[in-house]
Structure 1
């Protein structure tokens, strides 16, 4: 069990105040967010694959 397991799953987070960030920081933030989106999308594909495999196994 990790610390992340103890955090509530559906908490609405307060948006980050970007008004004081410089351009380089904003570009880095965007790059990090895009990387995180790709990681989440890959996890969705993986979970769909596992789910499909399980469904086909139990439908037999």
Structure 2
């Protein structure tokens, strides 16, 4: 279903969301969601940068 969490189905996702709601409450949940989304976006960007840095020298040799 998700690239980072390939084995998470709908029941597991609902459980995670319910636990997040209980732990953080309805007021903080949007803020936590934004922070998690931003972190994932930055992580993916860093991974793409590293992959590009590795692939560019390899492609130049060909």
TM-score bucket of the superposed structures, by smaller chain: 0.5 to 0.7
Structure 1 stretches of 5 or more lacking a match? 1-14
Q: Per-residue deviation at 1:21?
A: 2.2
| Count of matched residue positions in the alignment of Structure 1 and Structure 2 | 44
Structure 2 stretches of 5 or more lacking a match? 1-15
Give the alignment's Cα RMSD to 1 decimal: 1.8
1:11-50 mapped onto 2 (5 Å cutoff): 18=20, 19-50=22-53
Runs of 4 or more, structure 1, over 4 Å off, are none
When the two structures are superposed, what TM-score results if normalisation uses the length of structure 2? 0.57
Instruction: Name whichever structure is richer in helix by fraction.
Output: 2
When the two structures are superposed, what TM-score results if normalisation uses the length of structure 1? 0.58
Q: Per-residue deviation at 1:58?
A: 4.1
RCO comparison, higher one (Cα < 8 Å, 6+): 1
1:57 and 1:37 map into 2 onto residues whose CA distance is 30
